[in-house]
A and B are shown apart, each in its own frame.
Chain A
Amino acid sequence: MDRCYSIVGVSDVTTGFGSPEVPALMDSLARHFGCPALLIQPDEISRRPPSGPISPRVDVEHVCSTWETHTPPYAIEYLRHAAARVNRLRPEVLVVFSGFTFPLLARLRYRPRLVIYHCYELAGRDWRSTQVHRLLARKVDIITFPETMRAVLDTQACHFRGIPKVILYNCGTELTQSPPQPVPWDCRNGRILYSGTISPGVALSEYFWQEDTARLPIDITGRIVARSDEQAQQIAARLTGSLRYFGLLEPEQLAAMRGRYAYSLLMWNPKISPNHHYAAPNRLFQSIQAGVPPIAAPHPQCREIIRRFDCGILMHDWSFEAFRQALHQALTLYGTPRYKQLVENCLGAARRELNWEAQFRKLLPLIEACWNKESLPCAS
């Protein structure tokens, strides 16, 4: 007999490999309503299935598939399974993560009491996605966005006006990991960490193999995106000089080593898509939580956070000159009282506002407004 779940979430990714706000939101909802939650997640071939629940309150159901990851048949099969499961369990609270799982709402045979749509990628990115969102928008009670301009663009394109919405920064931390322990500001290794996709043009990785950059102490980890293995090897071979490439690390390893770095580097090419321009990177908040000041390109959210909390260094623009100048500024500043101030500002910001609990509190008034405070059937 199925266990009773009053809160069910349908994820678009395998948890534990990024997007920590997915399990974080489920855990927070389970805690708020006082009952267990179930997270249904797909099988992504490059990511391991979970070995157990992601938290005492959240069980995980991993849906395997024979179809290739993120192909249309894969999406259809996964969503059919998830919809059948949701229709059988009939949870009171349904959480839908991203536009990939949004069409699930068309297959529901009942109306959950609360439907939360965590829209963490641009919903109106193409015509088909926009139409699907417009069709099903009225089935959603609350929409959460990670960034303000994305909220505006999606509200405009997908007709989300009038639907309660809230901006939740991507401040979630992996539930299976212990909170980062800040390393004192004067015990850092003096190097800059770049962890993310290495992709010329998209992530501006071509800046790493300029002559000026080769002399800078930068550690790089992440997947190289290239057309072929040969090209990927060539890219890896260009990360020379003072640059060190660590390959693809496990999230736990990355979290453990992040705190030792002087700075963390964040940048994407804004011309690729609005998603890239209005980036809402987890890494920004992970760095700040670890007390590692970010060096960020002037994506609007990065600009807002760094300026408000004075907790990092902002490039003037996305040019190589601005990149170079920002890195030089950062290295000059390292070890000075000003650097100490940046580290303290990071930790202060993380304590006050840039943590998941503070972000989830923003959602509570909307949940209360959509709910009449009755306890759920499966509450313990």
Chain B
Amino acid sequence: MPKFIVVDPSIQGYQGHFYEYAQRVLHAARAQGYEPHLATHRRFRVPEDLPWPVYRLYRCAYWPTHRERTWVLWLKRLGTAVSALLGVWLLRLYFSRLGLFLESLRYYAVRPARLARKLPFPYGLLLLVPLLPVAVLAWPLRWLAGKLFRLLWRVLRPAVRLARHLYAYRRQLLITLWADRKLRDLARGTARLLRRVELQEGDVVFLSLVSEAELLGLLRLFQRCPQAKRATWHLVFRHQLYRPDQWHSPGEEHRLLRSALYRLVREEAPGRVFLYADTEDLVQQYESLGVAPVGELPIPVPRQYHRQRRLHPGSPCRVAYVGDARAQKGYHLLPRLVEDLWPEVEQGRVVFHFQSNFNVPLGSAETDVARWQLRSFDPRWVRLEMAPLDSEQYREMIVGADVLLVPYEPVAYYAGSSGIFAEALAAGVPVVCPAPTWMARQLAPVQQAYLEHLWPTLGQGQNVPAAQWHWDGPEPPLAEEGYLWLVPGREHRARLVCPEGATMLGLVVQRLEPDRDDPVLVKVQQRDEFGLCVAQHSAVLYAGGGVQRALVPLHPQAVQVELHWRPTGPWAPMRLYGVQCQWFSLSGGEAIPLSAVGVIYAEAEEELTASVREVLRHLEHYKQTALRFSGSWAQYHNAEMLIAQVQQALGRREASTLPNQPGPSHRPDTVKVPRAA
């Protein structure tokens, strides 16, 4: 029986997605006829009922841990205690009578007359007289001390400069040292694994999180243990190579990665190493290195999530945040959201359930402050989970939510995936997420499909093409050929006057070019007759998705609308064809859901609360559409499909091998979402 070995040095416990991911993959591999094995960090405590062997081999996880050796900790504590004692003693000295005397001398040293005035005559004079010999003697002493100090400085200066230089670059140095340690640990640990598990042809070794250090570690392993090449090695990349505003073109900062890949994939082990990423965007990024093709893997969401959303009829709507409390994941936005939605809480319509354990001791400053703010709310309405969740609790929290918040920072997650997002969609839970991110990219086609079906029901709108808008600035972004020419890094603003009776604004763009993954964000600000902003929404438009639409409800006091067009992504301009807006006058009181499955926002501070309110207002619609979407989503994102993709890469996959499985290249389709009721 061929073996399927998951190697993940980051598995130290149950916290984080690492262990869950490995478990799901191995279960699916076993179902496909593989013999599962798991290689983890040495700190991992193996549960008794685990059905496969576990090898605790590694000392270095993917990220540096904050657990230091005991003697280092004791030294640090001793140092801290000594410096604290010394510091407090100095402070007490400063705030003593002696300190007052010295400070007064220092403060009035250039104002002897003032000092003398403070004391009654002749005491002031009597104080100054004994100080005269001190002042006379002090000058040569000071000269001597200065000489000695300058001599000492001349000797020590090179060492001090070197130390300062090293200190200034300490972070880079530490990262380099850490990476070196990690690659040696991976090579050593995996060599030990190979001594315990003999690899044969057909075996699969799966590394679920890989960077340069891991590639170099594998290179070292292959050089020292050629028998490793009997198996095939499947490496998954999860981290972005480029910033959102960068071209997908390798720079010098990618040289080490590309060289490592080249040597590994083309020279050392050709045909034995397969590369994957878990999002389309990441696939494109890693393929831009030009070394080897990169496959896309689904996220292994277990079947227990599929359509398992809990119903709570009659209960308040549960708004949940799941995952470590991190600033990168938007945890610091939650107190403000709770405060904004407090009227709904008081009406008994909403409760909050937030996972609130830190991934590092004491958390960061933002998350620490945010957590204390959340703890000040009544725990009946704002429930915090302060400890890491086990698998069952984690799953219950997701499937028990009515709305799941995924307020991640776009810069950190614009190409990377979110397991929590995938699990929520599989369960049929509506989500709220920002753009431009991978999550928004998944929701956008569903949103557009919904709007495409909805549009004809809105009636005949009053069309206003972009050429008739009032554009700010000396150069409106209108090309002669009639398209909008949007330059990245600039915001283009247009104003429109709301016609009498209009209740909704529709935006339509026939086509966006070039075909890129970076969306165009349109901030729609509505202003009243006095120019005050009364409402703000954002539309997210993607190229390559056909006609793009957005729907914005008009505030009753809005008389003017400002459209701020901002292309995200790198430097090349975008062309938007057939841009127009449509004013709809729908009969009073109609409230139409603006999206389906979830809501995408662009500016957290202005729009997160409004996005959650939109879901709450049309909760049944979002729940139903999310449940319908979960079918096709879960068909692709599951561990069985992941194994199928791996097998396909190996060329062993046949179309009819697995019953009831779609083809290996199936992706969640643009689900035809029925129009809203």
Q: Once the chains are docked, how many angstroms separate the CA of A307 from the CA of B100? A: 49
Known: A152-B369, A155-B369, A338-B530. A106 touches B340 (CB 8 A): no
Q: Are A365 and B375 in contact (CB under 8 A)?
A: yes
Q: Residues of A contacting B366 with CB < 8 Å?
A: 152
Task: Indicate whether A72 reaches chain B with its CB closer than 8 angstroms.
Answer: yes
Q: Sample 18 A-B pairs with CB under 8 A, ordered by A number.
A: A66-B118, A76-B103, A106-B88, A106-B91, A135-B84, A136-B88, A148-B373, A151-B369, A152-B332, A153-B365, A160-B368, A162-B368, A308-B339, A329-B530, A332-B530, A333-B530, A336-B530, A365-B376
Q: Once the chains are docked, how many angstroms separate the CA of A135 from the CA of B87? A: 7
Proximity bits, A285-312, B CB within 8 Å = 1, else 0:
0000000000000000000100110000
Q: For window 108-167 of chain A, which residues contact chain B by CB distance below 8 Å?
A: 131-132, 135-136, 148, 151-153, 155-156, 160-162, 164-167
A303 to chain B minimum Cβ distance, whole angstroms, is 8
Task: Indicate whether B661 reaches chain A with its CB closer than 8 angstroms.
Answer: no
Q: Residues of A contacting B95 with CB < 8 Å?
A: 76, 79-80, 83, 103, 106-107
Q: Are B96 and A73 in contact (CB under 8 A)?
A: no
Q: Are A304 and B336 in contact (CB under 8 A)?
A: yes
Q: Are B369 and A165 in contact (CB under 8 A)?
A: yes
Q: Residues of B contacting A76 with CB < 8 Å?
A: 94-95, 99-100, 103
The 7 A-B pairs with the shortest beta carbon distances in the complex, nearest first, are A156-B365, A161-B362, A155-B365, A106-B91, A135-B87, A333-B530, A161-B368
Q: Are B96 and A80 in contact (CB under 8 A)?
A: yes
Task: Indicate whether A366 reaches chain B with its CB closer than 8 angstroms.
Answer: yes
Q: For window 588-618 of chain B, which residues contact chain A by CB distance below 8 Å?
A: 606
Q: By CB atoms of chain A within 10 A, which of B529, B531, B606 has the most? A: B531
Task: Indicate whether A253 reaches chain B with its CB closer than 8 angstroms.
Answer: no
Q: Residues of B contacting A219 with CB < 8 Å?
A: none
Q: Once the chains are docked, how many angstroms separate the CA of A329 from the CA of B531? A: 7
B495 to chain A minimum Cβ distance, whole angstroms, is 15
Q: Are B100 and A80 in contact (CB under 8 A)?
A: yes
Q: Are B532 and A77 in contact (CB under 8 A)?
A: no
Task: Indicate whether A31 reaches chain B with its CB closer than 8 angstroms.
Answer: no
Q: Are A338 and B369 in contact (CB under 8 A)?
A: no
Besides A132-B91, A304-B336, A329-B532, 19 more A-B contacts (Cβ < 8 Å) are: A72-B106, A72-B107, A73-B104, A79-B95, A83-B95, A152-B365, A152-B366, A156-B365, A160-B368, A161-B363, A164-B372, A165-B372, A167-B373, A308-B340, A332-B530, A333-B532, A362-B376, A363-B376, A365-B375
Q: Determine the interface band of chain B, counting residues with CB < 8 A from chain A.
A: 35 or more
B335 to chain A minimum Cβ distance, whole angstroms, is 8
A41 to chain B minimum Cβ distance, whole angstroms, is 18
Measured CB to CB, the residues of A under 8 A from B are 66-67, 71-73, 76-77, 79-80, 83, 103, 106-107, 131-132, 135-136, 148, 151-153, 155-156, 160-162, 164-167, 304, 307-308, 313, 325, 329, 332-333, 336, 338, 362-363, 365-366
Task: Indicate whether B510 reaches chain A with its CB closer than 8 angstroms.
Answer: no
Q: Residues of A contacting B364 with CB < 8 Å?
A: 156
Q: Once the chains are docked, how many angstroms separate the CA of A302 from the CA of B366? A: 19
Q: Once the chains are docked, how many angstroms separate the CA of A125 from the CA of B362? A: 23
Which residue from chain A places its CB closest to the CB of B97 in the assembled complex?
A80
Q: Once the chains are docked, how many angstroms separate the CA of A154 from the CA of B332? A: 16
Task: Indicate whether B176 reaches chain A with its CB closer than 8 angstroms.
Answer: no
Q: Are B365 and A166 in contact (CB under 8 A)?
A: no
Q: Are A166 and B91 in contact (CB under 8 A)?
A: no
Known: A135-B87, A304-B336, A365-B375. A338 touches B365 (CB 8 A): no
Q: Residues of B contacting A325 with CB < 8 Å?
A: 531
Q: Once the chains are docked, how many angstroms separate the CA of A365 from the CA of B382? A: 14
Proximity bits, B68-107, A CB within 8 Å = 1, else 0:
0000000000000000100110011011110110011011
Which residue from chain A places its CB closest to the CB of B94 in the assembled complex?
A76
Q: Once the chains are docked, how many angstroms separate the CA of A162 from the CA of B368? A: 7
Q: Once the chains are docked, how many angstroms separate the CA of A372 from the CA of B588? A: 56
Q: Are B87 and A131 in contact (CB under 8 A)?
A: yes
Q: Once the chains are docked, how many angstroms separate the CA of A156 from the CA of B362? A: 11
Which residue from chain A places its CB closest to the CB of B557 in the assembled complex?
A338
Measured CB to CB, the residues of B under 8 A from A are 84, 87-88, 91-92, 94-97, 99-100, 103-104, 106-107, 118, 332, 335-336, 339-340, 362-366, 368-369, 372-373, 375-376, 528-532, 557, 606
Which residue from chain A places its CB closest to the CB of B101 in the assembled complex?
A73
Q: Are A166 and B532 in contact (CB under 8 A)?
A: no
Q: By CB atoms of chain A within 10 A, which of B84, B87, B530, B557 has the most? A: B530
Q: Once the chains are docked, how many angstroms separate the CA of A156 from the CA of B363? A: 10
A320 to chain B minimum Cβ distance, whole angstroms, is 17
Q: Are A72 and B103 in contact (CB under 8 A)?
A: yes
Q: Once the chains are docked, how many angstroms separate the CA of A245 from the CA of B581? A: 50
A64 to chain B minimum Cβ distance, whole angstroms, is 14
B260 to chain A minimum Cβ distance, whole angstroms, is 35
Q: Once the chains are docked, how many angstroms separate the CA of A151 from the CA of B376? A: 15
Q: Residues of B contacting A329 with CB < 8 Å?
A: 530-532
Q: Once the chains are docked, how many angstroms separate the CA of A156 from the CA of B529? A: 44
Q: Are B372 and A73 in contact (CB under 8 A)?
A: no
Q: Residues of A contacting B363 with CB < 8 Å?
A: 161
Q: Once the chains are docked, how many angstroms separate the CA of A73 from the CA of B99? A: 9
Q: Are B369 and A77 in contact (CB under 8 A)?
A: no
A87 to chain B minimum Cβ distance, whole angstroms, is 13
A368 to chain B minimum Cβ distance, whole angstroms, is 11
Q: Are A366 and B87 in contact (CB under 8 A)?
A: no
Q: Residues of A contacting B375 with CB < 8 Å?
A: 164, 365-366
Q: Are A161 and B365 in contact (CB under 8 A)?
A: yes
Q: Are A71 and B107 in contact (CB under 8 A)?
A: yes
Which residue from chain B places its CB closest to the CB of A72 in the assembled complex?
B103
Q: Once the chains are docked, how many angstroms separate the CA of A135 from the CA of B104? A: 25
A333 to chain B minimum Cβ distance, whole angstroms, is 4
Q: Are B528 and A338 in contact (CB under 8 A)?
A: yes
Which residue from chain A places its CB closest to the CB of B379 in the assembled complex?
A365
Q: Once the chains are docked, how many angstroms separate the CA of A338 from the CA of B100? A: 59
Q: Once the chains are docked, how many angstroms separate the CA of A106 from the CA of B92? A: 6
Q: Are A77 and B92 in contact (CB under 8 A)?
A: no
Q: Once the chains are docked, how many angstroms separate the CA of A40 from the CA of B580? A: 67
Q: Once the chains are docked, how many angstroms separate the CA of A307 from the CA of B609? A: 12
Q: Residues of B contacting A80 with CB < 8 Å?
A: 95-97, 100
Q: Residues of A contacting B365 with CB < 8 Å?
A: 152-153, 155-156, 161
Q: Are A73 and B103 in contact (CB under 8 A)?
A: yes
Q: Are B87 and A107 in contact (CB under 8 A)?
A: no
Q: Once the chains are docked, how many angstroms separate the CA of A362 from the CA of B91? A: 33
Known: A73-B100, A83-B95, A308-B340. A166 touches B376 (CB 8 A): yes
Q: Are B107 and A103 in contact (CB under 8 A)?
A: no
Which residue from chain B places its CB closest to the CB of A79 in the assembled complex?
B95
Q: Residues of A contacting B92 with CB < 8 Å?
A: 106-107
Q: Residues of B contacting A365 with CB < 8 Å?
A: 375-376
Q: Are B532 and A313 in contact (CB under 8 A)?
A: yes
B606 to chain A minimum Cβ distance, whole angstroms, is 8
Q: By CB atoms of chain B within 10 A, which of A77, A83, A106 has the most? A: A106
Which residue from chain B places its CB closest to the CB of A143 in the assembled complex?
B372
Q: Once the chains are docked, how many angstroms separate the CA of A153 from the CA of B106? A: 32
Q: Once the chains are docked, how many angstroms separate the CA of A106 from the CA of B96? A: 11
Q: Are A148 and B369 in contact (CB under 8 A)?
A: yes
Q: Are A166 and B557 in contact (CB under 8 A)?
A: no
Q: Residues of A contacting B332 with CB < 8 Å?
A: 152
B609 to chain A minimum Cβ distance, whole angstroms, is 9
Q: Once the chains are docked, how many angstroms separate the CA of A76 from the CA of B557? A: 58
Q: Once the chains are docked, how many angstroms separate the CA of A335 from the CA of B444? A: 44
Q: Once the chains are docked, how many angstroms separate the CA of A132 from the CA of B87? A: 8
Q: Once the chains are docked, how many angstroms separate the CA of A151 from the CA of B104? A: 34
Q: Residues of A contacting B103 with CB < 8 Å?
A: 72-73, 76
Q: Once the chains are docked, how many angstroms separate the CA of A80 from the CA of B94? A: 10
Q: By CB atoms of chain A within 10 A, which of B87, B95, B97, B340 has the most? A: B95
Q: Residues of A contacting B106 with CB < 8 Å?
A: 72
A106 to chain B minimum Cβ distance, whole angstroms, is 4
Q: Are B373 and A162 in contact (CB under 8 A)?
A: no
Q: Residues of A contacting B118 with CB < 8 Å?
A: 66
Q: Residues of B contacting A362 with CB < 8 Å?
A: 376
Q: Once the chains are docked, how many angstroms separate the CA of A79 from the CA of B340? A: 41
B366 to chain A minimum Cβ distance, whole angstroms, is 5
Q: Once the chains are docked, how many angstroms separate the CA of A136 from the CA of B85? A: 11
